[in-house]
A and B are shown apart, each in its own frame.
Chain A
């Protein structure tokens, strides 16, 4: 399933859920938000620095593919290890959430 498919499914599941919960609470935590916050120690709060490569403002597919590549290849850098710390589903959720954040236009 592509990240975009996932977004669509999340949206479709999310609408009735959000409506149902309006009666109780205005807040529904965006999926992937807290998982993606674990990137911020090295990439900055909300993924746009200060830190290593900017991870906000990119497409979900680009981030997911990079994570997948780092997780699969032999370990060289520290991100090759960190990527091994997440399940495929978690990498999709992280990518989806980060793609909703504005970046500074950096790499």
Chain B
């Protein structure tokens, strides 16, 4: 198959000198710029939708190995059986039919940055896609586990789908006095409040089911609770007192799925009834191939999400490392991925039309975390583009500075927040996928 790209077009048009001098905007308008998006989660779906909504004739192809996306948002309530899997399954039909996004089911396996080409492995063989801009939103990959970890025996359930069902079934098989052991990865990881939320809803499930003496042991690789500390401290020590044991500074040394055993720097456990090992995380493989920072994520420009080496290759969502003030990192969440997607879409369209990038940029994250089967807390974080600071308060560059962070006040952890959680989820599901 011959790939006809803009360069070919210019060549075949005789590359008239005057034509070549016309800015990129006009040539893009002639041929329709091509943007390929890898990863159909909250980041990828949103950037595809907004590029089409804002971008006129820009051609957008969304690439994902799965025919639809299963949301991590609300997935802990699928683990407890409160929600069905269909409730968190989000298709790409509206992106295709309403927004004109092309969908290609396949796995992105290689980038040719010099040739602006992406190779995608599909059920009918490899396809090569030409792009003017490439956006990578592949989510997280797991760092190798020490020991013998088999996720089909001891699930992570940190990418929703079959793993969620496996953990749900294992939880349902728990009886009185059984132990549910879970790990909290070393930060940064996807969804800072997520592990604590899971501990809470699992403990609440065990209470409601009358599993006397059954408990949840939380082995946190970090020195303290990573999100909503007031709400989760209260939940661990009051709401779920006696049903949750929270253990700090538990760096995982070894995992053995066959015996559901785990060894950490703080505690060793053998023969847990359920071992929910959530590994440390890093950028998704296709993004990581561009080069990562020491934490394993891809550094990007905070205005375009472009990479330093290839400004037309952008990384958004969980895989990217946004320059931020020390101790005030940009969280990895579906909401934040959606926020970054809009900034990235805007930057791509401005670049294509010859406009300067917008520097008046804000991103944020807001989410609700169930604490029991009928109450929830919430978390809010906001970032503005500008100076970012080191630990001593000295300016260290430009990036996304966190201007506000907070959680629900104690009287806000209630049933209203539990209902608001569904309003929020349905809204972000629709804003990203509909």
Contacts and interface: CB of A to CB of B under 8 A. Distances in A.
Contacts of B23: 24-25
B427 A49 contact: yes
Contact of B342 (A25, A38, A76, A90): A38
Nearest to B55: A27
B186 interface: no
B382 A93 contact: no
Contacts of A28: 355
B378 A78 contact: yes
Interface in B392-434: 403-404, 406, 408-409, 412, 420, 423-424, 426-428, 430-431, 434
Contacts of B346: 29, 33-34
B366 interface: yes
B382 A41 contact: no
Contact of B427 (A27, A35, A37, A43): A43
A29 B54 CA distance: 9
Interface string B21-62: 001011001000000000000000000011001101000000
Given A44-B430, A76-B412, A86 B382 contact: yes
Interface residues of B, number: 48
A77 B420 CA distance: 11
Contacts of B29: 25-26
Contact of A51 (B338, B378, B426): B426
Contacts of A40: 342, 427, 431
A25 B25 contact: yes
10 contacts: A28-B355, A29-B54, A34-B342, A45-B431, A50-B430, A51-B424, A51-B430, A76-B409, A85-B403, A85-B404
The 4 closest A-B pairs by CB, nearest first: A85-B382, A51-B427, A81-B380, A25-B25
Given A41-B338, A50-B426, A50-B427, 7 more contacts: A24-B23, A29-B358, A38-B339, A44-B430, A75-B409, A78-B408, A90-B362
